């Protein structure tokens, strides 16, 4: 993992390259399926089996496995084998932050709250 200041250099004022735009769009597309969102939020509590995740998301284990395969491909979740079971967890703390921000945005948008983006302070990269 890079140091926390590394990400700050990729913020305001920089143009995104085409491959970065495609990766972001693909990641955001993962959140367009309600069952995937339920699976991701269920994993905020820690590692889970496919069966437990399927129960939490209200879908069949087969459907959960299919959605988890997509989430693994997008590097939103990782899996490890324990005996005959696969255990899934969120890829890293960025996924937790993404889920939190999307949830907060949805709550604020539902209430009609908006902020002046220009007034939001931007972190300066460390020197």
Tens digits of residue pLDDT in 65-90:
999 999 999 999 999 999 999 999 99
In this structure, is residue 24 part of a structural domain?
Answer: yes
Total domain count for the chain? 1
Query: Pick the residue with more confidence: 11 or 104?
Result: 104
In this structure, is residue 91 part of a structural domain?
Answer: yes
In this structure, is residue 65 part of a structural domain?
Answer: yes
CATH of the domain at 104: 1.10.10.10
Evaluate whether 49 touches 82 at the Cβ level (below 8 Å): no
Evaluate whether 70 touches 79 at the Cβ level (below 8 Å): no
Task: State the pTM of this model.
Answer: 0.81
Q: What's the average model confidence in pLDDT over 22-39?
A: 95
Strands (E), the chain: 48-49, 77-82, 85-90
In this structure, is residue 46 part of a structural domain?
Answer: yes
In this structure, is residue 9 part of a structural domain?
Answer: no
In this structure, is residue 1 part of a structural domain?
Answer: no
What residue numbers bound the domain in which 43 lies?
A: 17-113
């Amino acid at each position: 993992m890079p140091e926390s200041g590394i990400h700050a250099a990729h913020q305001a004022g920089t143009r995104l390259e085409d491959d970065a735009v495609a990766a972001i769009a693909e990641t955001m597309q993962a959140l367009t399926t309600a069952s995937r969102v339920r699976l991701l939020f269920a994993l905020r509590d820690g590692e889970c089996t496919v069966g437990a995740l399927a129960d939490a998301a209200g879908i069949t284990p087969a459907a959960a496995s299919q959605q988890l395969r997509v989430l693994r491909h997008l590097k939103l979740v990782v899996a490890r084998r324990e005996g005959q079971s696969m255990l899934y967890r969120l890829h890293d703390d960025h996924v937790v932050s993404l889920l939190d921000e999307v949830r907060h945005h949805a709550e604020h948008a539902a209430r009609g709250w908006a902020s002046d983006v220009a007034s939001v302070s931007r972190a300066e990269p460390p020197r």
